[in-house]
Amino acid sequence: RFHIEEENASGPMAQVIGRMEAIAADTGCSIVFLHHASKGAAMMGAGDQQQASRGSSVLVDNIRWQSYLSSMTSAEAEEWGVDDDQRRFFVRFGVSKANYGAPFADRWFRRHDGGVLKPAVLERQRKSKGVPRGEA
């Protein structure tokens, strides 16, 4: 573990972020710090939002770049033509905060043996205009 601080406490979390910034400045490296979304955000399909991170808002506010992996929702499965029983194999990678970078398009990945993620090739499904589903 990188720290033993309380993730909900803004003071200690600001110190953790500050320490990572110091390491990056001293070494010239970038640091990717892994954290997780709150259960509420994940359950509501909002794991792709900046404020979905669990704990103090410092973990979002004091950083310059944030990405996420978000499970495929039922609505996304329908949009991309994935059977509902298969959607648990798909995750979306995206960037929810990029202070110094260009916008980044979300990318879909599929879980394979051993949990390995590989790029998924999905096609957005077209909806018929004005015709109820199943009647086209």
Number of Cβ within a 10 Å radius of residue 37 = 19
Please check the confidence at residue 38 and state whether its pLDDT lies above 60. yes
Task: Give the model confidence (pLDDT) of 59-87 as tens digits.
Answer: 888 888 888 888 999 999 999 999 999 99
Q: Which residue has the higher pLDDT, 50 or 53?
A: 53
Asked if residue 136 has pLDDT above 50, the reply is no
Residue 98 has pLDDT above 80, yes or no: yes
Residue 127, C-beta contacts closer than 8 angstroms, at least 6 positions apart: 133
Backbone φ and ψ of 130, nearest 5°: 75, 0
Q: What is the pLDDT of residue 52?
A: 67
Residue among 120, 122, 63 nearest 95 (CA)? 63
Kindly tell me if the per-residue pLDDT of 11 is higher than 80.
Answer: yes
Domain coordinates in residue numbering, the chain: 1-63, 67-126
pTM, two decimal places: 0.74
Q: Looking at the predicted structure, is the pLDDT value of residue 133 above 70?
A: no
Q: What angle do CA 84, 90, 93 make, to 5 degrees?
A: 140
